[in-house]
Chain A
Amino acid sequence: MAIVAQSSKYGQISRTLLAWIVGLLFFFPIFWLVLTSFKTDADAVKPEFLFFFTPTLENYTNMTENYNYWRFATNSVITSVFATIFALAVGIPCAYSMAFNPTRATKDVLMWMLSTKMLPAAAVLYPMTFLTKSLGLFDTHFMVIVVLCLINLPIVIWMLFTYFKEIPKEIIEAGQMDGVNTWGEIKEILIPLAWGGIASTALLCFIFCWNEAYWTVRLTTTDAATLSKLIEGNRAPEGLFFGRLSAVSAAAVGPIIVLGWFCQKQLVQGLSFGAVK
Protein backbone atom coordinates (compact mmCIF):
# COMPACT_ATOMS: atom_id res chain seq x y z
CA MET A 1 0.00 0.00 0.00
CA ALA A 2 2.81 2.33 0.86
CA ILE A 3 4.10 2.08 -2.66
CA VAL A 4 0.99 3.57 -4.15
CA ALA A 5 0.74 6.44 -1.72
CA GLN A 6 4.24 7.57 -2.48
CA SER A 7 3.36 10.77 -4.34
CA SER A 8 4.91 13.77 -2.63
CA LYS A 9 2.99 16.26 -0.58
CA TYR A 10 3.84 18.94 -3.11
CA GLY A 11 2.36 16.84 -5.91
CA GLN A 12 -0.74 16.20 -3.86
CA ILE A 13 -1.35 19.91 -3.29
CA SER A 14 -0.77 20.94 -6.87
CA ARG A 15 -3.04 18.15 -8.08
CA THR A 16 -5.81 19.29 -5.75
CA LEU A 17 -5.33 22.88 -6.87
CA LEU A 18 -5.40 21.96 -10.54
CA ALA A 19 -8.52 19.82 -10.07
CA TRP A 20 -10.32 22.68 -8.36
CA ILE A 21 -9.26 25.09 -11.10
CA VAL A 22 -10.59 22.77 -13.79
CA GLY A 23 -13.85 22.26 -11.91
CA LEU A 24 -14.37 25.97 -11.37
CA LEU A 25 -13.43 26.75 -14.97
CA PHE A 26 -16.09 24.39 -16.26
CA PHE A 27 -18.66 25.74 -13.89
CA PHE A 28 -17.75 29.37 -14.58
CA PRO A 29 -20.09 29.97 -17.57
CA ILE A 30 -23.05 28.80 -15.49
CA PHE A 31 -21.93 30.94 -12.60
CA TRP A 32 -21.57 33.84 -14.99
CA LEU A 33 -25.07 33.29 -16.33
CA VAL A 34 -26.53 33.36 -12.84
CA LEU A 35 -24.42 36.36 -11.85
CA THR A 36 -25.50 38.33 -14.91
CA SER A 37 -29.10 37.49 -14.20
CA PHE A 38 -28.88 39.65 -11.07
CA LYS A 39 -27.61 42.68 -12.99
CA THR A 40 -29.77 45.24 -14.70
CA ASP A 41 -29.63 45.14 -18.48
CA ALA A 42 -27.57 48.32 -18.41
CA ASP A 43 -25.09 47.12 -15.80
CA ALA A 44 -24.65 43.75 -17.51
CA VAL A 45 -22.55 45.17 -20.35
CA LYS A 46 -20.44 47.59 -18.33
CA PRO A 47 -16.91 46.40 -17.55
CA GLU A 48 -16.84 48.37 -14.28
CA PHE A 49 -19.69 46.24 -12.92
CA LEU A 50 -18.06 42.92 -13.83
CA PHE A 51 -18.13 41.38 -10.36
CA PHE A 52 -19.25 44.22 -8.13
CA PHE A 53 -22.68 45.61 -8.71
CA THR A 54 -25.94 46.18 -6.94
CA PRO A 55 -27.83 42.94 -7.32
CA THR A 56 -31.43 43.17 -8.41
CA LEU A 57 -34.23 40.68 -8.69
CA GLU A 58 -36.11 42.68 -11.28
CA ASN A 59 -35.04 40.35 -14.10
CA TYR A 60 -36.75 37.49 -12.34
CA THR A 61 -39.82 39.42 -11.26
CA ASN A 62 -40.26 40.78 -14.75
CA MET A 63 -39.72 37.39 -16.40
CA THR A 64 -43.43 36.98 -17.04
CA GLU A 65 -44.02 40.30 -18.73
CA ASN A 66 -40.71 40.27 -20.60
CA TYR A 67 -40.87 36.74 -21.91
CA ASN A 68 -44.09 35.12 -20.80
CA TYR A 69 -41.78 32.64 -19.06
CA TRP A 70 -44.38 30.66 -17.15
CA ARG A 71 -46.37 29.82 -20.20
CA PHE A 72 -43.32 28.28 -21.89
CA ALA A 73 -42.20 26.63 -18.67
CA THR A 74 -45.62 25.06 -18.23
CA ASN A 75 -45.44 23.71 -21.76
CA SER A 76 -41.98 22.30 -21.06
CA VAL A 77 -43.21 20.59 -17.92
CA ILE A 78 -46.33 19.16 -19.55
CA THR A 79 -44.60 17.85 -22.64
CA SER A 80 -41.56 16.45 -20.80
CA VAL A 81 -43.60 14.77 -18.08
CA PHE A 82 -46.05 13.11 -20.43
CA ALA A 83 -43.40 12.14 -22.96
CA THR A 84 -41.45 10.48 -20.13
CA ILE A 85 -44.51 8.65 -18.86
CA PHE A 86 -45.37 7.35 -22.31
CA ALA A 87 -41.78 6.39 -23.05
CA LEU A 88 -41.71 4.36 -19.83
CA ALA A 89 -45.10 2.82 -20.49
CA VAL A 90 -43.93 1.53 -23.86
CA GLY A 91 -40.31 1.02 -22.83
CA ILE A 92 -40.73 -1.05 -19.67
CA PRO A 93 -42.66 -3.92 -21.29
CA CYS A 94 -40.30 -3.86 -24.24
CA ALA A 95 -37.13 -3.91 -22.13
CA TYR A 96 -38.65 -6.59 -19.88
CA SER A 97 -39.40 -8.70 -22.89
CA MET A 98 -35.90 -8.30 -24.30
CA ALA A 99 -34.08 -8.83 -21.03
CA PHE A 100 -35.93 -11.93 -19.84
CA ASN A 101 -37.37 -13.51 -22.95
CA PRO A 102 -34.75 -12.85 -25.59
CA THR A 103 -35.11 -14.29 -29.04
CA ARG A 104 -32.38 -14.66 -31.58
CA ALA A 105 -33.40 -11.31 -33.06
CA THR A 106 -33.19 -9.37 -29.80
CA LYS A 107 -29.65 -8.13 -30.27
CA ASP A 108 -30.37 -6.96 -33.78
CA VAL A 109 -33.55 -5.23 -32.69
CA LEU A 110 -31.68 -3.37 -29.98
CA MET A 111 -28.99 -2.32 -32.41
CA TRP A 112 -31.60 -1.22 -34.89
CA MET A 113 -33.30 0.89 -32.23
CA LEU A 114 -30.03 2.61 -31.49
CA SER A 115 -29.52 3.26 -35.17
CA THR A 116 -32.87 5.03 -35.45
CA LYS A 117 -31.43 7.46 -32.94
CA MET A 118 -28.67 8.21 -35.43
CA LEU A 119 -31.12 9.05 -38.15
CA PRO A 120 -30.75 12.79 -38.67
CA ALA A 121 -33.95 14.49 -37.58
CA ALA A 122 -33.47 17.14 -40.22
CA ALA A 123 -33.88 14.55 -42.96
CA VAL A 124 -37.54 14.15 -42.12
CA LEU A 125 -38.15 17.76 -41.14
CA TYR A 126 -40.48 18.64 -43.96
CA PRO A 127 -42.53 15.42 -43.97
CA MET A 128 -43.05 15.87 -40.25
CA THR A 129 -44.12 19.47 -40.71
CA PHE A 130 -46.37 18.41 -43.55
CA LEU A 131 -47.91 15.52 -41.62
CA THR A 132 -48.48 17.45 -38.43
CA LYS A 133 -50.00 20.36 -40.30
CA SER A 134 -52.30 18.22 -42.40
CA LEU A 135 -53.41 16.25 -39.33
CA GLY A 136 -54.03 19.50 -37.51
CA LEU A 137 -51.45 18.60 -34.90
CA PHE A 138 -48.93 21.34 -35.57
CA ASP A 139 -48.11 23.33 -32.44
CA THR A 140 -50.12 21.03 -30.17
CA HIS A 141 -48.97 19.49 -26.92
CA PHE A 142 -49.98 16.09 -28.17
CA MET A 143 -47.62 16.26 -31.14
CA VAL A 144 -44.69 17.47 -29.09
CA ILE A 145 -45.30 14.73 -26.53
CA VAL A 146 -45.44 12.01 -29.18
CA VAL A 147 -42.29 13.23 -30.88
CA LEU A 148 -40.33 13.66 -27.65
CA CYS A 149 -41.45 10.20 -26.56
CA LEU A 150 -40.37 8.58 -29.82
CA ILE A 151 -36.98 10.22 -30.11
CA ASN A 152 -36.10 9.20 -26.57
CA LEU A 153 -37.62 5.74 -26.71
CA PRO A 154 -34.47 3.98 -27.99
CA ILE A 155 -32.35 5.39 -25.16
CA VAL A 156 -35.06 4.66 -22.61
CA ILE A 157 -35.29 1.04 -23.79
CA TRP A 158 -31.53 0.64 -23.81
CA MET A 159 -31.16 2.01 -20.32
CA LEU A 160 -34.00 -0.08 -18.92
CA PHE A 161 -32.64 -3.12 -20.71
CA THR A 162 -29.25 -2.75 -19.02
CA TYR A 163 -30.89 -2.27 -15.62
CA PHE A 164 -33.22 -5.24 -16.10
CA LYS A 165 -30.37 -7.45 -17.25
CA GLU A 166 -28.82 -7.07 -13.83
CA ILE A 167 -31.79 -8.71 -12.17
CA PRO A 168 -31.06 -12.43 -11.89
CA LYS A 169 -33.25 -14.36 -14.27
CA GLU A 170 -33.83 -16.85 -11.46
CA ILE A 171 -35.91 -14.33 -9.52
CA ILE A 172 -38.29 -13.95 -12.42
CA GLU A 173 -38.38 -17.74 -12.76
CA ALA A 174 -39.08 -18.11 -9.07
CA GLY A 175 -42.02 -15.80 -9.67
CA GLN A 176 -43.22 -18.03 -12.47
CA MET A 177 -43.01 -21.05 -10.20
CA ASP A 178 -44.86 -19.10 -7.53
CA GLY A 179 -47.72 -18.47 -9.88
CA VAL A 180 -47.45 -14.92 -11.21
CA ASN A 181 -48.58 -14.16 -14.74
CA THR A 182 -46.76 -11.87 -17.14
CA TRP A 183 -48.36 -8.73 -15.79
CA GLY A 184 -47.57 -9.91 -12.26
CA GLU A 185 -43.93 -10.45 -13.19
CA ILE A 186 -43.71 -6.83 -14.24
CA LYS A 187 -45.81 -5.37 -11.44
CA GLU A 188 -44.83 -7.53 -8.48
CA ILE A 189 -41.21 -8.28 -9.21
CA LEU A 190 -39.63 -6.25 -11.98
CA ILE A 191 -40.82 -2.74 -11.13
CA PRO A 192 -40.17 -2.94 -7.37
CA LEU A 193 -36.76 -4.49 -8.02
CA ALA A 194 -35.61 -2.12 -10.73
CA TRP A 195 -37.18 0.92 -9.13
CA GLY A 196 -33.90 2.81 -8.86
CA GLY A 197 -33.02 2.14 -12.47
CA ILE A 198 -36.46 3.09 -13.70
CA ALA A 199 -36.36 6.32 -11.72
CA SER A 200 -33.02 7.38 -13.11
CA THR A 201 -34.11 6.45 -16.62
CA ALA A 202 -37.18 8.61 -16.14
CA LEU A 203 -35.07 11.45 -14.83
CA LEU A 204 -32.71 11.32 -17.78
CA CYS A 205 -35.54 11.00 -20.27
CA PHE A 206 -37.13 14.03 -18.66
CA ILE A 207 -33.89 15.99 -18.95
CA PHE A 208 -33.47 15.08 -22.61
CA CYS A 209 -37.08 16.06 -23.33
CA TRP A 210 -36.67 19.33 -21.49
CA ASN A 211 -33.49 20.22 -23.40
CA GLU A 212 -34.66 19.02 -26.81
CA ALA A 213 -34.23 21.82 -29.29
CA TYR A 214 -34.95 20.58 -32.78
CA TRP A 215 -38.52 19.38 -32.96
CA THR A 216 -39.73 21.65 -30.19
CA VAL A 217 -38.37 24.57 -32.19
CA ARG A 218 -39.56 23.44 -35.60
CA LEU A 219 -42.96 21.96 -34.79
CA THR A 220 -44.30 24.70 -32.52
CA THR A 221 -45.05 28.38 -32.76
CA THR A 222 -46.83 29.52 -29.62
CA ASP A 223 -49.40 27.18 -28.12
CA ALA A 224 -47.11 24.26 -27.37
CA ALA A 225 -43.78 26.12 -27.51
CA THR A 226 -41.29 25.09 -24.87
CA LEU A 227 -38.43 26.90 -23.17
CA SER A 228 -36.04 25.86 -25.96
CA LYS A 229 -38.23 27.75 -28.39
CA LEU A 230 -38.37 30.74 -26.07
CA ILE A 231 -34.58 31.00 -25.76
CA GLU A 232 -34.03 30.29 -29.43
CA GLY A 233 -36.50 33.03 -30.32
CA ASN A 234 -34.61 35.59 -28.24
CA ARG A 235 -31.17 34.47 -29.25
CA ALA A 236 -29.63 37.65 -30.62
CA PRO A 237 -30.17 40.56 -28.32
CA GLU A 238 -26.90 42.23 -29.38
CA GLY A 239 -26.12 43.15 -25.81
CA LEU A 240 -29.43 44.85 -25.22
CA PHE A 241 -31.01 42.48 -22.75
CA PHE A 242 -28.18 40.46 -21.21
CA GLY A 243 -29.66 40.78 -17.74
CA ARG A 244 -33.16 39.66 -18.46
CA LEU A 245 -32.00 37.02 -20.99
CA SER A 246 -29.69 35.57 -18.35
CA ALA A 247 -32.50 35.43 -15.84
CA VAL A 248 -34.85 33.55 -18.12
CA SER A 249 -32.03 31.24 -19.23
CA ALA A 250 -31.04 30.51 -15.66
CA ALA A 251 -34.67 29.79 -14.85
CA ALA A 252 -34.80 27.43 -17.80
CA VAL A 253 -31.71 25.39 -16.91
CA GLY A 254 -31.51 25.71 -13.13
CA PRO A 255 -34.01 23.01 -12.14
CA ILE A 256 -32.53 20.60 -14.66
CA ILE A 257 -28.97 21.08 -13.46
CA VAL A 258 -30.08 20.34 -9.92
CA LEU A 259 -31.96 17.26 -11.10
CA GLY A 260 -28.86 16.25 -13.01
CA TRP A 261 -26.71 16.36 -9.88
CA PHE A 262 -28.91 13.71 -8.36
CA CYS A 263 -28.66 11.27 -11.22
CA GLN A 264 -25.05 11.77 -12.33
CA LYS A 265 -23.97 8.32 -11.18
CA GLN A 266 -26.84 6.55 -12.92
CA LEU A 267 -26.17 8.67 -15.97
CA VAL A 268 -22.92 6.84 -16.57
CA GLN A 269 -24.40 3.39 -16.41
CA GLY A 270 -27.43 4.36 -18.43
CA LEU A 271 -25.78 6.38 -21.13
CA SER A 272 -22.95 3.94 -21.63
CA PHE A 273 -25.62 1.28 -21.95
CA GLY A 274 -24.20 -0.62 -19.03
CA ALA A 275 -20.85 -1.13 -20.72
CA VAL A 276 -19.11 1.08 -18.17
CA LYS A 277 -19.79 0.39 -14.54
Chain B
Amino acid sequence: MSNRTLPRLLQSPAVFLLLIWMLVPLSMTLYFSFIRYVLNSLRKPEWTTPALSNWRGFGNYEFVLKSKDFLFAIQNSLLIVCSILFLTVILGVLIAVLINKSFPGQGIVRVLLISPFFVMPAVNAVLWINMILDPVLGLQGIAVGGINDMVDGLRAAPGIGWFFSLWPELTPISFRATQTSAYAVIIMVTWQWTPFAVLIFMTSLQSEDQQQKEAAILDGASTWSQFRFLTLPHLGRPIAIVVMIQAIFHLSLYAEIEIVSRGNGNKNLPYLIGEFANNNIGAASATGIFAVILANIVAIFLLRMVGKTLME
Protein backbone atom coordinates (compact mmCIF):
# COMPACT_ATOMS: atom_id res chain seq x y z
CA MET B 1 0.00 0.00 0.00
CA SER B 2 0.99 3.57 -0.40
CA ASN B 3 -0.85 6.79 -0.90
CA ARG B 4 2.15 7.75 -2.99
CA THR B 5 1.51 5.19 -5.70
CA LEU B 6 -0.42 7.49 -8.02
CA PRO B 7 2.05 10.36 -7.81
CA ARG B 8 4.84 7.96 -8.58
CA LEU B 9 3.01 6.60 -11.58
CA LEU B 10 2.72 10.07 -13.06
CA GLN B 11 6.21 9.81 -14.46
CA SER B 12 5.38 6.76 -16.49
CA PRO B 13 3.72 8.47 -19.50
CA ALA B 14 6.85 10.49 -20.16
CA VAL B 15 9.11 7.51 -19.60
CA PHE B 16 6.92 5.37 -21.82
CA LEU B 17 6.86 7.91 -24.65
CA LEU B 18 10.61 8.41 -24.57
CA LEU B 19 11.16 4.69 -24.45
CA ILE B 20 9.09 4.18 -27.58
CA TRP B 21 10.70 7.17 -29.23
CA MET B 22 14.09 5.66 -28.56
CA LEU B 23 13.49 1.96 -29.06
CA VAL B 24 11.23 1.66 -32.08
CA PRO B 25 13.22 3.62 -34.63
CA LEU B 26 16.50 2.43 -33.18
CA SER B 27 15.60 -1.23 -33.49
CA MET B 28 14.48 -0.59 -37.04
CA THR B 29 17.83 1.02 -37.78
CA LEU B 30 19.52 -1.99 -36.26
CA TYR B 31 17.46 -4.32 -38.44
CA PHE B 32 18.05 -2.33 -41.64
CA SER B 33 21.76 -2.23 -40.93
CA PHE B 34 21.94 -5.99 -41.31
CA ILE B 35 19.99 -6.33 -44.58
CA ARG B 36 20.45 -5.21 -48.13
CA TYR B 37 17.99 -2.38 -48.55
CA VAL B 38 18.08 0.29 -51.23
CA LEU B 39 15.38 2.65 -52.41
CA ASN B 40 15.96 2.28 -56.15
CA SER B 41 17.53 -0.62 -57.90
CA LEU B 42 16.74 -1.65 -61.45
CA ARG B 43 19.14 -4.55 -61.24
CA LYS B 44 17.92 -6.02 -57.96
CA PRO B 45 14.31 -4.91 -57.43
CA GLU B 46 13.96 -7.33 -54.50
CA TRP B 47 16.32 -5.17 -52.46
CA THR B 48 13.89 -2.27 -52.49
CA THR B 49 11.68 -3.81 -49.81
CA PRO B 50 13.09 -4.63 -46.41
CA ALA B 51 13.05 -8.37 -45.82
CA LEU B 52 15.00 -10.92 -43.82
CA SER B 53 15.79 -12.79 -47.04
CA ASN B 54 18.07 -9.89 -47.95
CA TRP B 55 20.23 -10.57 -44.90
CA ARG B 56 23.69 -9.18 -45.32
CA GLY B 57 25.21 -9.74 -41.89
CA PHE B 58 27.97 -7.25 -41.23
CA GLY B 59 28.23 -6.46 -44.92
CA ASN B 60 26.84 -2.95 -44.56
CA TYR B 61 29.25 -2.23 -41.75
CA GLU B 62 32.20 -3.41 -43.84
CA PHE B 63 30.98 -1.31 -46.72
CA VAL B 64 30.74 1.77 -44.53
CA LEU B 65 34.09 1.17 -42.85
CA LYS B 66 35.77 0.82 -46.22
CA SER B 67 34.26 3.94 -47.69
CA LYS B 68 36.70 6.81 -47.46
CA ASP B 69 33.87 9.18 -46.59
CA PHE B 70 33.24 7.46 -43.29
CA LEU B 71 36.62 8.08 -41.72
CA PHE B 72 36.56 11.58 -43.07
CA ALA B 73 33.12 12.22 -41.61
CA ILE B 74 34.18 10.97 -38.17
CA GLN B 75 37.34 13.06 -38.21
CA ASN B 76 35.35 16.03 -39.34
CA SER B 77 32.65 15.50 -36.69
CA LEU B 78 35.30 15.42 -33.98
CA LEU B 79 37.20 18.35 -35.46
CA ILE B 80 34.08 20.47 -35.57
CA VAL B 81 32.77 19.53 -32.12
CA CYS B 82 36.13 19.82 -30.36
CA SER B 83 37.03 23.12 -32.00
CA ILE B 84 33.68 24.61 -31.09
CA LEU B 85 33.97 23.40 -27.49
CA PHE B 86 37.50 24.73 -27.17
CA LEU B 87 36.71 28.12 -28.67
CA THR B 88 33.43 28.68 -26.84
CA VAL B 89 34.92 27.81 -23.45
CA ILE B 90 37.99 30.04 -23.88
CA LEU B 91 36.03 32.95 -25.34
CA GLY B 92 33.24 32.38 -22.85
CA VAL B 93 35.52 32.62 -19.82
CA LEU B 94 37.35 35.69 -21.14
CA ILE B 95 34.19 37.58 -22.04
CA ALA B 96 32.42 36.57 -18.83
CA VAL B 97 35.30 37.89 -16.73
CA LEU B 98 35.35 41.05 -18.85
CA ILE B 99 31.69 41.94 -18.49
CA ASN B 100 31.09 40.54 -15.02
CA LYS B 101 32.02 43.71 -13.13
CA SER B 102 29.45 46.41 -13.58
CA PHE B 103 30.12 49.15 -16.15
CA PRO B 104 27.93 51.67 -17.95
CA GLY B 105 25.50 49.83 -20.22
CA GLN B 106 26.17 46.37 -18.83
CA GLY B 107 22.55 45.35 -19.30
CA ILE B 108 22.54 46.36 -22.96
CA VAL B 109 25.83 44.61 -23.69
CA ARG B 110 24.41 41.50 -22.08
CA VAL B 111 21.35 41.58 -24.31
CA LEU B 112 23.49 42.24 -27.41
CA LEU B 113 25.75 39.35 -26.49
CA ILE B 114 23.04 36.78 -25.88
CA SER B 115 21.15 37.48 -29.09
CA PRO B 116 23.07 35.11 -31.40
CA PHE B 117 22.01 32.17 -29.25
CA PHE B 118 18.40 32.53 -30.35
CA VAL B 119 19.11 32.69 -34.07
CA MET B 120 17.66 29.77 -36.00
CA PRO B 121 20.52 27.52 -37.18
CA ALA B 122 19.33 27.70 -40.79
CA VAL B 123 19.37 31.49 -40.72
CA ASN B 124 22.72 31.45 -38.97
CA ALA B 125 24.23 29.42 -41.79
CA VAL B 126 22.62 31.42 -44.59
CA LEU B 127 23.64 34.68 -42.99
CA TRP B 128 27.26 33.75 -42.44
CA ILE B 129 28.01 31.87 -45.63
CA ASN B 130 26.31 34.36 -47.93
CA MET B 131 26.33 37.77 -46.43
CA ILE B 132 29.46 37.64 -44.35
CA LEU B 133 31.91 35.03 -45.53
CA ASP B 134 31.24 35.04 -49.26
CA PRO B 135 34.58 35.73 -50.97
CA VAL B 136 33.08 38.13 -53.50
CA LEU B 137 29.74 39.48 -52.40
CA GLY B 138 29.92 38.97 -48.66
CA LEU B 139 31.50 41.36 -46.20
CA GLN B 140 34.69 39.38 -46.38
CA GLY B 141 34.99 39.87 -50.12
CA ILE B 142 34.07 43.52 -49.86
CA ALA B 143 36.52 44.11 -47.02
CA VAL B 144 39.39 42.35 -48.77
CA GLY B 145 38.60 44.21 -51.96
CA GLY B 146 38.55 47.50 -50.08
CA ILE B 147 41.91 46.87 -48.45
CA ASN B 148 43.47 45.91 -51.78
CA ASP B 149 42.15 49.07 -53.41
CA MET B 150 43.47 51.16 -50.59
CA VAL B 151 46.91 49.56 -50.66
CA ASP B 152 46.91 49.93 -54.43
CA GLY B 153 46.24 53.62 -54.09
CA LEU B 154 49.00 54.02 -51.51
CA ARG B 155 51.54 52.34 -53.78
CA ALA B 156 51.29 55.34 -56.05
CA ALA B 157 51.77 57.75 -53.20
CA PRO B 158 55.11 59.59 -53.19
CA GLY B 159 57.57 58.87 -50.40
CA ILE B 160 55.86 55.94 -48.75
CA GLY B 161 54.75 54.12 -51.88
CA TRP B 162 57.80 51.84 -51.86
CA PHE B 163 56.71 50.50 -48.49
CA PHE B 164 53.25 49.52 -49.65
CA SER B 165 54.53 48.06 -52.90
CA LEU B 166 56.14 45.40 -50.70
CA TRP B 167 52.66 44.34 -49.56
CA PRO B 168 51.11 41.36 -51.29
CA GLU B 169 47.71 41.47 -52.88
CA LEU B 170 45.25 39.90 -50.43
CA THR B 171 43.03 37.11 -51.68
CA PRO B 172 39.72 36.42 -49.98
CA ILE B 173 39.23 32.92 -48.58
CA SER B 174 36.51 30.82 -50.09
CA PHE B 175 34.60 29.07 -47.38
CA ARG B 176 32.84 26.77 -49.78
CA ALA B 177 35.73 24.36 -50.34
CA THR B 178 35.77 21.00 -48.55
CA GLN B 179 38.05 21.92 -45.67
CA THR B 180 37.37 25.62 -45.33
CA SER B 181 33.65 25.01 -45.12
CA ALA B 182 34.29 23.09 -41.92
CA TYR B 183 35.96 26.23 -40.58
CA ALA B 184 32.95 28.25 -41.67
CA VAL B 185 30.73 25.90 -39.66
CA ILE B 186 33.05 26.23 -36.66
CA ILE B 187 32.97 30.02 -36.91
CA MET B 188 29.21 30.29 -37.14
CA VAL B 189 28.44 27.79 -34.39
CA THR B 190 31.05 29.36 -32.12
CA TRP B 191 29.39 32.71 -32.73
CA GLN B 192 26.05 31.22 -31.78
CA TRP B 193 27.13 29.30 -28.68
CA THR B 194 29.75 31.55 -27.10
CA PRO B 195 26.94 33.72 -25.70
CA PHE B 196 25.51 30.67 -24.00
CA ALA B 197 28.87 29.93 -22.37
CA VAL B 198 29.24 33.58 -21.36
CA LEU B 199 25.83 33.61 -19.76
CA ILE B 200 26.46 30.46 -17.74
CA PHE B 201 29.94 31.56 -16.64
CA MET B 202 28.72 35.01 -15.71
CA THR B 203 25.97 33.62 -13.54
CA SER B 204 28.49 31.39 -11.86
CA LEU B 205 30.93 34.27 -11.35
CA GLN B 206 28.26 36.21 -9.53
CA SER B 207 28.06 33.47 -6.95
CA GLU B 208 31.81 33.61 -6.37
CA ASP B 209 32.70 34.15 -2.75
CA GLN B 210 33.64 37.84 -2.46
CA GLN B 211 35.06 37.44 1.05
CA GLN B 212 37.38 34.78 -0.26
CA LYS B 213 38.60 37.26 -2.88
CA GLU B 214 39.07 39.96 -0.27
CA ALA B 215 41.02 37.53 1.87
CA ALA B 216 43.18 36.74 -1.15
CA ILE B 217 43.81 40.43 -1.77
CA LEU B 218 44.86 40.87 1.86
CA ASP B 219 47.13 37.87 1.42
CA GLY B 220 48.74 39.76 -1.42
CA ALA B 221 47.44 37.79 -4.40
CA SER B 222 47.76 39.51 -7.76
CA THR B 223 44.83 39.82 -10.15
CA TRP B 224 46.25 36.97 -12.18
CA SER B 225 46.67 34.67 -9.17
CA GLN B 226 43.14 35.49 -8.07
CA PHE B 227 41.90 34.46 -11.50
CA ARG B 228 44.12 31.38 -11.67
CA PHE B 229 43.60 30.03 -8.16
CA LEU B 230 40.12 31.25 -7.22
CA THR B 231 38.05 32.08 -10.30
CA LEU B 232 39.12 29.25 -12.60
CA PRO B 233 38.53 26.47 -10.03
CA HIS B 234 35.18 28.08 -9.24
CA LEU B 235 34.30 27.84 -12.93
CA GLY B 236 35.18 24.13 -13.13
CA ARG B 237 31.64 22.92 -12.76
CA PRO B 238 29.98 25.38 -15.15
CA ILE B 239 32.67 24.58 -17.73
CA ALA B 240 31.82 20.90 -17.44
CA ILE B 241 28.16 21.69 -17.92
CA VAL B 242 28.77 23.93 -20.91
CA VAL B 243 30.85 21.18 -22.49
CA MET B 244 28.17 18.56 -21.88
CA ILE B 245 25.23 20.57 -23.17
CA GLN B 246 27.10 21.71 -26.24
CA ALA B 247 28.21 18.17 -26.97
CA ILE B 248 24.56 17.14 -26.90
CA PHE B 249 23.68 19.73 -29.50
CA HIS B 250 26.76 19.66 -31.72
CA LEU B 251 27.08 15.92 -32.20
CA SER B 252 23.88 16.12 -34.18
CA LEU B 253 24.78 19.35 -35.97
CA TYR B 254 23.01 19.28 -39.27
CA ALA B 255 21.45 22.43 -40.71
CA GLU B 256 24.72 24.36 -40.85
CA ILE B 257 26.56 21.53 -42.59
CA GLU B 258 23.69 21.00 -44.98
CA ILE B 259 23.57 24.65 -45.98
CA VAL B 260 27.29 25.41 -46.03
CA SER B 261 28.66 22.22 -47.41
CA ARG B 262 26.15 20.67 -49.75
CA GLY B 263 27.97 19.21 -52.72
CA ASN B 264 31.50 20.19 -51.76
CA GLY B 265 32.51 17.05 -49.95
CA ASN B 266 32.54 18.39 -46.41
CA LYS B 267 30.45 16.29 -44.05
CA ASN B 268 29.96 15.04 -40.55
CA LEU B 269 28.26 11.82 -39.50
CA PRO B 270 24.65 13.08 -39.59
CA TYR B 271 25.27 14.50 -43.04
CA LEU B 272 26.85 11.29 -44.31
CA ILE B 273 23.85 9.35 -43.08
CA GLY B 274 21.61 11.75 -44.96
CA GLU B 275 23.65 11.14 -48.10
CA PHE B 276 23.45 7.38 -47.79
CA ALA B 277 19.76 7.61 -47.00
CA ASN B 278 19.08 9.01 -50.44
CA ASN B 279 19.38 5.45 -51.69
CA ASN B 280 21.40 2.96 -49.67
CA ILE B 281 19.35 2.51 -46.51
CA GLY B 282 21.47 -0.41 -45.33
CA ALA B 283 24.60 1.71 -45.33
CA ALA B 284 22.79 4.67 -43.82
CA SER B 285 21.58 2.46 -40.99
CA ALA B 286 25.01 0.99 -40.37
CA THR B 287 26.47 4.49 -40.24
CA GLY B 288 23.66 5.41 -37.88
CA ILE B 289 24.67 2.60 -35.54
CA PHE B 290 28.25 3.87 -35.62
CA ALA B 291 26.95 7.34 -34.78
CA VAL B 292 25.00 5.90 -31.85
CA ILE B 293 28.11 4.14 -30.59
CA LEU B 294 30.15 7.33 -30.88
CA ALA B 295 27.45 9.32 -29.11
CA ASN B 296 27.28 6.73 -26.36
CA ILE B 297 31.01 6.87 -25.77
CA VAL B 298 30.80 10.63 -25.47
CA ALA B 299 27.63 10.43 -23.40
CA ILE B 300 29.02 7.96 -20.88
CA PHE B 301 32.16 10.02 -20.56
CA LEU B 302 30.27 13.28 -20.11
CA LEU B 303 27.54 11.96 -17.84
CA ARG B 304 30.17 10.43 -15.60
CA MET B 305 31.92 13.74 -15.46
CA VAL B 306 28.89 15.96 -14.96
CA GLY B 307 26.16 13.65 -13.75
CA LYS B 308 27.18 13.74 -10.12
CA THR B 309 27.34 17.49 -9.86
CA LEU B 310 23.92 17.77 -11.50
CA MET B 311 22.33 15.64 -8.87
CA GLU B 312 23.62 17.50 -5.84
Contacts and interface: CB of A to CB of B under 8 A. Distances in A.
B171 interface: no
Contacts of A193: none
Nearest to B149: A47
A235 B126 contact: yes
Given A3-B218, A232-B255, A235-B122, A260 B14 contact: no
B120 A252 contact: yes
B146 A47 contact: yes
A207 B284 CA distance: 30
Contacts of A185: 7
Contacts of A260: 114-115, 117-118
A249 B127 contact: yes
B79 interface: no
Contacts of B285: 126-127
Interface in A195-212: 207, 210-211
B99 A227 contact: no
Residue among B99, B217, B296 with most chain A CB within 10 A: B99
Nearest to A1: B214
B121 A121 contact: no
Contact of B273 (A98, A123, A273): A123
B30 to A, nearest CB: 9
B213 interface: yes
Contacts of A30: 115-116, 119
B13 A121 contact: no
A171 B118 CA distance: 36
Q: How large is the interface on A (under 10, 10 to 19, 20 to 34, 35 or more residues)?
A: 35 or more
Query: Chain A's interface: helix, strand, loop or mixed, by majority?
Result: helix
B12 to A, nearest CB: 8
Nearest to A227: B120
Nearest to A86: B17
Given A232-B122, A276-B200, A125 B288 contact: yes
Interface in A94-118: 94, 96-98, 100-101, 103, 107, 109-111, 113-118
Interface stretch (A62-70, A137-145, A237-245): A237-245
A97 B10 contact: yes
A120 B252 contact: yes
Q: How large is the interface on B (under 10, 10 to 19, 20 to 34, 35 or more residues)?
A: 35 or more
A65 B312 CA distance: 54
Contacts, number: 310
Interface stretch (B40-48, B51-59, B104-112): B104-112
B128 interface: yes
A240 to B, nearest CB: 9
Contacts of A210: 120
A264 interface: yes
Interface in B135-184: 136-137, 139, 142, 145-146
Residue among A107, A114, A218, A261 with most chain B CB within 10 A: A114
Nearest to A213: B255
Contact of B270 (A115, A117, A121, A234): A121
A273 B241 contact: yes
Given A124-B25, A260-B115, A217 B258 contact: yes
B35 interface: no
Contacts of B255: 213-214, 217, 228, 232
A224 interface: no
Interface string B19-37: 0011011101100100000
A124 B281 CA distance: 11
A198 to B, nearest CB: 15
Contacts of A174: none
A15 interface: yes
A50 interface: yes
Nearest to B255: A213
Contacts of B18: 113, 116, 150, 153-154
A256 B123 CA distance: 12
B130 A237 contact: yes
Nearest to A269: B203
Interface in A221-255: 227-228, 231-232, 234-237, 239, 242, 245-246, 249, 252-253
Given A94-B10, A236-B259, 7 more contacts: A20-B109, A27-B113, A231-B122, A235-B258, A249-B123, A249-B127, A267-B117
21 contacts: A33-B127, A93-B10, A94-B11, A94-B14, A94-B15, A109-B15, A113-B15, A119-B295, A123-B29, A126-B285, A127-B32, A150-B17, A153-B14, A207-B118, A234-B126, A235-B129, A249-B127, A256-B120, A260-B117, A272-B245, A275-B312
